[in-house]
């Protein structure tokens, strides 16, 4: 976890840009035309993220969370309302590493995508593999790596895209409990060192309260904003913190879980 | 690495079973001809074919080289052309929707049957053979390469877009590599047709090649020699099939081989 002397930049309230949000959705509605007629994925959703802020979006399956991320990344356009966002990059739920490329080359893929030479992409990706404890696996192919390692490489890949906004789509959903806890720890650590505006979509309420400064709760389809809860605990947070346990309970109750 | 060794061991055992069955079938054939007293001019015994393979080795070898050249060059041209056409179809919806139906319809043309016409146009040389081999190989490579392009995960394409990748970058960094196993699969299927195509093109008009030797041998009632050419052609096709699989294993170790991988050393 992060050391006690936490970097100033990780605390959103101290950032001067707070006035200008990095991501702003206003009354956004998104519909799809499927075989069984029109499906409304998101309805009238408004939210804003300040620069450097981490917001978690939790909700039941099919609440339009992935649609929300694709809107922020500019992969979709809203049917109603407006989406304004700084350049955003996706970190997908499945790692989607290239099976033929080494861990190092996968980590540098976003740089290659932007046209950088291979040597330069490797030079920039190497310190990050080192930082996340993957230095000795730099030459390994994805098939030789564990799920947790693959997800770390996927994260580095998105981070190195150099965009202001990270859109994380249930990054640890496919991992076991221990690997997931490790993942949450290195994510918090990496974001403390390299602050980004983060929109984190997750099923895991504990993960949301642990990582996010604010939590948006969406309803089942069509996804509507049920509540937006501020996290009273400041970073770095710990699972056992009573404030977090209370917040987790509030989120669960908002979602309709039995008290 | 250890796993590879174990797999190789298991595979060698199943190859041994296939070999034993082959020996048993050849033995039954040998017995039938030797004991049954059939006319060996009509059906030569396996040992007579083996003798023909040995005695006619220089004739068979020099004509094998001719056929091998036709097959290898023809398949090479087919791979290059198929890759180019599949890429064009992948990039352009108009090219795909106009070319694809015609490409499938073209498979109804019995290309080897057209070989005499090609000979009429182009003579007894290499060209009509290359055209027949190329055409019969082309289709399977185009189809499997297109399937390779289509198998790229759409989520990966989205991811590359959020990274800021250009269309060309996406093609070079992701799609082309993704399609390569498809190219190999297509080439493996193609070599089987290619050997057949080369022999039939030689029958239509040639003065060398194993297809030519076969036709001449049958006409002269040298059936053992005719069977010897068949043995060589079949072995050649299997060797090419396995060889392409081996190259894929070495060049693209990350890829799987869905079709016919049981014929290869692992």
- Strands A54-58, A197-202: pairing kind: parallel
**Structure confidence at residue B6 as a pLDDT band (50, 70, 90):** very low
Q: Which two tokens stand for residue B202?
A: 């030689």
Give residue limits of the domains in chain A.
97-162
- Alpha-carbon distances of A191 from A15, A202, B13, rounded to whole Å: 15, 17, 54
The residue segments making up the domain with residue B21 are 1-38
Q: Which CATH number do you get for residue B237?
A: 1.10.3720.10
pLDDT in tens, A204-220: 899 998 999 999 999 88
Mean pLDDT, residues B168-188: 92
**Interchain contact A196–B (C-beta under 8 A):** no
- The rounded distance, in Å, linking the Cα atoms of B223 and B42 is 7
Domain count, chain B: 2
- Per DSSP, helices labelled H in chain A are 65-72, 103-107, 109-113, 118-131, 147-159, 177-193, 205-211, 242-255
Residue in A closest to B175 by C-alpha: A98
Mean pLDDT, residues A131-156: 91
Q: Note the pTM of the prediction, 2 decimals.
A: 0.79
pLDDT at B169: 92
Q: How many CA atoms lie within 13 A of A214 on its CB side?
A: 19
pLDDT at B1: 38
Shortest CB distance from A114 goes to which of B156, B164, B255?
Answer: B164
pLDDT at A13: 47
Please determine, for residue B217, whether its predicted confidence score (pLDDT) is greater than 80: yes
**Interchain contact A94–B (C-beta under 8 A):** yes
Within 8 A by CB and 6+ apart from A157, the residues are: A91, A106, A107, A108, A109, A110
Q: In what order do the strands lie in the sheet with A80-85?
A: A37-49, A23-34, A80-85
Q: Are B107 and B90 found together in one domain?
A: yes
Please determine, for residue A132, whether its predicted confidence score (pLDDT) is greater than 80: yes
CB pair distance less than 8 Å for A100 and B160 = no
**Structure confidence at residue B35 as a pLDDT band (50, 70, 90):** confident
pLDDT in tens, A225-251: 888 888 888 888 888 888 888 888 888
The backbone region for B15, taken as left when phi is positive above 0, alpha when psi lies in -120 to 50, beta otherwise, is alpha
CB pair distance less than 8 Å for B158 and A110 = no
**Interchain contact A112–B (C-beta under 8 A):** yes
pLDDT at A5: 38
Please determine, for residue A17, whether its predicted confidence score (pLDDT) is greater than 80: no
Cα of first residue to Cα of last residue in chain A, in angstroms, is 31
Q: What is the least distance, in Å, from the CA of A258 to any CA of chain B?
A: 35
pLDDT in tens, B48-64: 999 999 999 999 999 99
CB B33 within 8 A of CB B40: yes
Q: Are B97 and B48 found together in one domain?
A: yes
Please determine, for residue B266, whether its predicted confidence score (pLDDT) is greater than 50: no
Q: Are B7 and B97 found together in one domain?
A: no
Contacts of B254 in chain A (CB under 8 A): 99-100, 141, 143
pLDDT at B203: 87
CA A80 to chain centroid, in Å, comes to 24
CB A211 within 8 A of CB A187: yes
CB pair distance less than 8 Å for A75 and B164 = no
pLDDT at B264: 46
Q: Are B29 and B140 found together in one domain?
A: no
CA A229 to chain centroid, in Å, comes to 17
**What are the φ and ψ backbone dihedral angles of A241, each rounded to 5 degrees?**
-55, 125
pLDDT at B257: 54
Contacts of A115 in chain B (CB under 8 A): 166, 169
Q: Are B31 and B49 found together in one domain?
A: no
- Strands A23-34, A80-85: pairing kind: antiparallel
Cα–Cα nearest to B253, from A114, A140, A161, A138: A140
Please determine, for residue B109, whether its predicted confidence score (pLDDT) is greater than 70: yes
Residue in A closest to B154 by C-alpha: A96
């Amino acid at each position: 976890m992060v050391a006690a002397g936490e970097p100033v930049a990780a605390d959103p309230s101290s950032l001067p840009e707070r006035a200008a949000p990095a991501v702003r959705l206003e009354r956004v509605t998104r519909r799809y035309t499927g075989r069984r007629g029109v499906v409304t994925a998101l309805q009238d959703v408004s939210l804003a993220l300040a620069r450097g802020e981490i917001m978690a979006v939790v909700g039941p399956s099919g609440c339009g969370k992935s649609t929300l991320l694709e809107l922020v990344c500019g992969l979709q356009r809203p049917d109603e309302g407006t989406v304004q966002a700084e350049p955003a990059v996706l970190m997908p739920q499945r790692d989607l590493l290239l099976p033929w490329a080494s861990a190092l080359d996968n980590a540098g893929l976003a740089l290659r995508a932007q046209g950088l030479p291979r040597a330069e992409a490797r030079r920039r990706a190497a310190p990050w593999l080192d930082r996340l404890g993957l230095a000795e696996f730099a030459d390994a192919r994805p098939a030789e790596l564990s799920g947790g390692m693959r997800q770390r490489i996927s994260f580095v890949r998105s981070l190195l895209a150099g965009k202001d906004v990270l859109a994380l789509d249930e990054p640890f959903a496919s991992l076991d409990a221990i690997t997931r806890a490790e993942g949450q720890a290195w994510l918090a650590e990496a974001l403390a060192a390299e602050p980004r505006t983060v929109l984190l979509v997750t099923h895991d309420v504990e993960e949301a309260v642990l990582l996010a400064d604010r939590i948006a709760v969406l309803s089942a389809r069509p996804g509507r904003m049920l509540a937006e809860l501020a996290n009273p605990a400041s970073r770095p947070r710990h699972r056992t913190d009573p404030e977090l346990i209370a917040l987790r309970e509030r989120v669960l109750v908002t979602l309709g879980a039995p008290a | 690495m250890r796993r590879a060794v174990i797999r190789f061991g298991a595979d060698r055992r199943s190859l041994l079973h296939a070999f034993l069955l082959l020996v048993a079938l050849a033995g039954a054939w040998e017995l039938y001809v030797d004991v049954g007293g059939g006319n060996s001019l009509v059906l030569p015994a396996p040992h007579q074919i083996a003798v023909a393979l040995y005695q006619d080795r220089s004739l068979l070898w020099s004509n094998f080289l001719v056929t091998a050249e036709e097959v290898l060059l023809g398949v090479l041209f087919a791979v290059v052309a198929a890759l180019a056409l599949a890429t064009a179809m992948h990039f352009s919806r108009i090219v795909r929707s106009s070319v694809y139906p015609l490409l499938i319809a073209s498979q109804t043309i019995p290309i080897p049957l057209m070989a005499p016409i090609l000979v009429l146009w182009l003579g007894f040389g290499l060209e009509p053979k290359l055209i027949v081999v190329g055409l019969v190989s082309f289709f399977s490579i185009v189809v499997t390469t297109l399937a390779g392009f289509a198998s790229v995960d759409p989520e990966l394409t989205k991811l590359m877009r959020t990274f800021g990748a250009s269309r060309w970058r996406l093609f070079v960094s992701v799609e082309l590599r993704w399609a390569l196993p498809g190219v190999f699969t297509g080439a493996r299927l193609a070599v089987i047709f290619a050997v057949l195509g080369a022999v039939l093109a030689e029958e239509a008009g040639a003065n060398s090649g194993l297809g030519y030797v076969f036709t001449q041998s049958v006409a002269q009632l040298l059936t053992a020699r005719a069977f010897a050419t068949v043995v060589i052609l079949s072995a050649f096709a299997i060797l090419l099939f396995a060889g392409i699989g081996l190259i894929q294993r070495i060049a693209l170790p990350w890829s799987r081989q869905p079709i016919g991988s049981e014929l290869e050393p692992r």
